[in-house]
A and B are shown apart, each in its own frame.
Chain A
Amino acid sequence: MTELALEIRDVSKRYAEHVAVKQLSLAVPRGTVYGLLGPNGAGKTTTIRMVLNVIGPDTGSITVFGQSHKDPTVLDRLGYLPEERGLYKKMSVRDVLRFLAELKGVDRKRADRGIDEWLERLSLRTPEKDWGKAKVDELSRGMQQKVQFIGTLLHDPELVILDEPFSGLDPINAQALKDTVVELRRRGKTVIFSTHLMDNAERLCDSVCIIARGEKVLDGSLAAVKAENAGRTVAVALDGGASAAVQEVLQDRALVLRADDHSRYFEVELTASGDPQVLLTRLIAAGAVLQRFERVQPSLHQIFLQRVGAAGVEEGMSGHG
């Protein structure tokens, strides 16, 4: 049994007008929650569609649980919730779910049992009303979203891929989704989701991959990503203002890339070779009276802005995932 749920190696996809994905490689360990982060149009949906073998990559290889993603049995082990959601409007909820489950190779009896369980869990079936018998277009939007989750998870997939799962969800369904993701992870399933909302990613993910303009910016476990980027920022608070000697240290471009001056409070971003330890000794040598000297853990949001930059976000706005 391989340790990786998904491995993408050197995958590129070019369309006539633009390159959607460029030389992308990433690895998703089994049993983790993995965030695929990036601005709109970064290539997240294209990447996901390539994993699902809906779009063929121009170059590179994709393996799911160690098998080629083109292996027809692989699709049965995947559950997918697309960004653009929809169901057959004229079918009954039960028929739609049964259809989706049968497409994943689940037999009717097992599907029916699963449907009962899920409808009850998401309170779509109560003693008063069984929404399973209703037609899809009789359901409210929130209920349709629930039905769509059920369709994604009914066949108990080992790898669940959610494309922008939080977009358009009401708070109750968003909470239900979070709970479900946590529970899936506890049961040893692997969850990959794409989002441009860093807060959700920060709270849920074990590992992340940030892509922009079709290219990978960084990837790794959340802790590693944070640690890697943590060294860069130091928060410094002084008792009294900064003396000329202290200012001189902060303006040393060999050590400090940028210092955000709030007169008594400084957010100092170190250069790549800048060592916080050196900064500390030099500040003390310059006679600074320190109230606070702290290596700050940047939020994922800050890392994202730092690494992708405003340009990447704006450029991404025009295209399609």
Chain B
Amino acid sequence: MAKLWTVVKREYLERVRTKWFIIVTLFGPIFFAMIMVLPGYLSVKGMREARVTNLRIVDATGLGIGERVSQRLAAPQISAGMAPSMARVDTVTQEGVADVEEALLARVVSREENGVLILDSATVASGRARYLGRDAGSVGQVDALEGAVRTALIGARLEALGLDAPTADAITRLRVRIDAEKVTDQGKGGSGLAGTVFGFGVAFLLYMSIILYGQNILRGVLEEKTTRVAEVVVSSVSPDVLLAGKVIGVGAVGLTQMLVWVASGVLFWEQRSRVFSAMGIQNMPQISFPTIDPLVLVALVLYFILGYTFYASLFAAVGAMVGSQEEAQQASQPVLMLLVFSIIFVQPVMTNPTGQLALVMSWLPFSAPIIMPMRMTATPVPPLEIAGSLFGLALACAAAIWLSARIYRVGLLMYGKRPSMRELLRWIRQS
């Protein structure tokens, strides 16, 4: 037992100390923080530098539409808690438009103004307005202007119909948001989009970790074999202990990484208001987190551990079979195929998490560690089904360990040609 611990310690420490591990582990939370903060930060930054307010409005409508547009344009800044910068409005008569337009055009050319919005009688009648600006090609800018002019006109028309100004204003501010909720055979099947995104996230995280750390084991075994360290080590511990120590040690590295990621994610989520306000953002982005049953969380961890162990032992066996990196790539194809096969069906399973395909894939041991956790986050799965699939996976795990321990024992000290299928069977029988 003490020797197993020694092996685990070496495998763990040697990997955790590498630059590669530190970079990837730190990059995760930074990436997470970026996708959380960046959209909010950018929109605020966009509003700060907003050119929408940095323009001149020429109002020839005679109805004060210009003033309304100016206020509309500043509204996002006000709701973001910033001091608004209002666009200057030049109120002129229909005839005076041409003169003012020419003067302002010169200022735009000389970069003193960003653009000129011209509102006249045509605007009131048909909603047509003109914008002359350096950023006239920007869809966002034109969209913002169109929106502002539209609500300003609607407000003016409502007032003309006899509504008082605040009421008219309130009506034009109306916003629509649809909360989509998914319905499946079992009724309301979860939280729609958020659940799907989370499900995909879990599936890909498991897939990536299994591939990454499975191949890491393969490389470790191969290194011990090609440098012939294995020979010294197995004169102190049995190959079984060495294999177990490797799988546990590398698995612990994977868990450490995930723990850092999840913990920093949760911490960030808890502290999000502080982070956002520090960056000058008042209204946080609307992201709804699907609520996760703690039991599901336990199952997720179990699926990771069992799935990882299943594939890690297979990869270890491959590492013991081959003699070089090139051979390893070829020989690990069948194992990789099993993984890729599972990930191909992520999309169809996600579209119909209660269908026949989803059911079968979450029972097959090699795809269960990826498909089932994803399914569980998308739709409630009967606990008995989860327990059954976990049990099947555990059995397959035991079989994989038994098989690869045998291949490992013989292969570790066998140099030369890669074994054929027949030789491999003999190895398994022999040891």
Contact = CB atoms under 8 A, between A and B. Distances in A.
B6 A86 contact: no
B188 interface: no
B14 A91 contact: yes
Interface in B220-249: 223-224, 226-229, 231-239
Interface string B203-227: 0000000000000000000011011
A75 B2 contact: no
Nearest to B3: A103
Nearest to A107: B2
A222 interface: no
B128 interface: no
Interface residues of A, number: 30
Q: Interface residue tally of chain B, by bracket?
A: 20 to 34
A320 B413 CA distance: 11
B229 A78 contact: no
B173 interface: no
Contacts, number: 65
Nearest to A70: B238
A88 B227 contact: yes
A100 B10 contact: no
B426 interface: yes
Given A88-B227, A88-B229, A103-B3, A54 B235 contact: yes
B413 A103 contact: no
A75 B237 CA distance: 8
B228 A86 contact: yes
Interface in B1-50: 2-3, 6-7, 10, 14
B413 A49 contact: yes
Given A16-B426, A99-B6, A105-B2, A82 B232 contact: yes
A227 to B, nearest CB: 35
Contacts of B227: 86-89
A90 interface: yes
B228 A84 contact: yes
A94 interface: no
Given A52-B235, A100-B236, A85 B6 contact: no
A80 B2 contact: no
A16 B419 CA distance: 13
B6 A80 contact: no
A104 B234 CA distance: 11
Interface string A53-77: 1111000000000000000000110
A71 B226 CA distance: 29
Contact of A151 (B228, B232, B426): B232
B233 A103 contact: yes
A202 interface: no
A54 B413 contact: yes
A85 B233 CA distance: 11
Contacts of B426: 16
A267 interface: no
Given A103-B3, A103-B236, A87 B229 contact: yes
A56 B431 CA distance: 8
B231 A82 contact: yes
23 contacts: A16-B426, A49-B413, A52-B234, A53-B238, A54-B235, A56-B431, A75-B237, A76-B236, A78-B235, A80-B232, A86-B232, A87-B229, A88-B223, A88-B229, A90-B14, A91-B14, A100-B232, A103-B7, A105-B2, A105-B3, A148-B232, A151-B232, A320-B416
Interface of B: 2-3, 6-7, 10, 14, 223-224, 226-229, 231-239, 413, 415-416, 426, 431
10 pairs of A and B residues whose beta carbons are closest in the complex: A86-B228, A86-B227, A103-B236, A80-B235, A82-B231, A84-B228, A102-B6, A52-B235, A86-B229, A54-B234
Given A54-B413, A87-B232, A91-B14, 8 more contacts: A56-B431, A84-B231, A85-B228, A86-B231, A89-B227, A99-B6, A100-B232, A320-B416
Interface of A: 16, 49, 52-56, 75-76, 78, 80, 82, 84-91, 99-100, 102-105, 148, 151-152, 320
